[in-house]
Amino acid sequence: MTHTLFSPLDMHLHLRDEKMLETVAPLTAFSFAGALVMPNLVPPITTIEALLAYKSRILEATKDDTFEPLMTLFFRSDYTREFLEKASLHVTALKLYPSGITTNSEGGVASMDIEVLRPVFEVMSDLGLVLCVHGETNGFVMDREKEFASIYESFASAFPRLKIVMEHITTKESVALLDKYDNLYATITLHHLLITLDDVAGGMLKPHLFCKPIAKREEDKEALLHVSLNAHPKVMFGSDSAPHPISKKECCGCAAGVFTAPVALPALAQLFDKHHVLANLQAFVSDNAQKIYNYAPLKKEVILEKNPFLVPQSYSDVVPMFAGESLTWSIKDVL
């Protein structure tokens, strides 16, 4: 049994830089036609020059594959209209991080005051730039995304022309917002469709499943599954694949991030097939994103087959989700 996906897209991806970039970028480029690349490097991508240089390094690392990196800027409230007009020629979105909320976000936004953000939001609305948001407060870890819901609502209602993507949503409350505001959309990860906090810390701690936003409760996972499996038009796949070396994961002070890039499509095929909705996978991994971002991807066909795939224990110094386990689907060919 085979199933073909056309121009799959990963609309939330971390590629890091230098040696790590060289390791992980080809693993995405092999099976995806494009990906929205996050800007939280050290230092973050805040200039056009830095963005173009980073894109060049990504293209060099993925030169053997048909792949287009879609670039993002690290959101700052002091960007000028002139700067954003120039940047709009090169970027797909701006990524807003609350300060200190996740990996390499220390230079993020300290205040969600609409009047502070208004100048940049209005220019983005005029230019058609997408706002991607890591939506968490600094509250209790299980409540951070739920508490951010009111901020999403204030953004969406105050700037109705601004297309806002709620990144890597994990709660039933975030899912409910999709049908409440025309300009709110969301990415959903593979791992949040499969795990809850119990899988991470209910028994022995599993550091390679620790991520931010943290995995939530069963009812939250079920809400995510419902909209994903049914190809809700306002959700799209964003892996949030976040590689860290083993030394940063298997240690005190474990880094947050699940590395799913090389297993994403076989694992999604297995999940959608299990629920008898394999036909909906195309919309989730490509068609919805094309419409939301008004983007025409490079042509690429990924032929999946129902044939076991034994996931390697590691890729260089990075441990993937399902390491050492066998998935029921694999990638047969890429055209």
The three-state secondary structure class of 1 is coil
What pLDDT does 328 receive? 98
What pLDDT does 101 receive? 85
What mean pLDDT do residues 97-117 have?
89
Domain boundaries, the chain: 9-296
Give 69's strand partners.
Answer: 35
Q: What is the torsion angle, in degrees rounded to the nearest 10, for the CA atoms of residue 20, residue 21, residue 27 and residue 32?
A: 150
pLDDT in tens, 198-223: 999 999 999 999 999 999 999 999 99
Give yes or no for residue 107 having a pLDDT over 90: no
Say which CATH class 9-296 falls into: alpha beta
pTM reported for the whole predicted model:
0.97
Give yes or no for residue 192 having a pLDDT over 90: yes
**105, 244 contact by CB (below 8 A):** no
CA distance 185 to 133: 10
What pLDDT does 190 receive? 98
Sign of the CA dihedral 109, 115, 120, 122?
positive
**302, 4 contact by CB (below 8 A):** yes
Give yes or no for residue 80 having a pLDDT over 90: yes
The three-state secondary structure class of 260 is coil
Residue 194 DSSP class: H
> Which structure tokens are listed for 323?
């390491």
Alpha helices in 131-194 (DSSP H): 144-158, 172-177, 190-194
Instruction: Determine how many CB atoms are found less than 10 A away from the CB of residue 292.
Output: 19
The three-state secondary structure class of 167 is coil
Q: Show which residues are catalytic.
A: 240
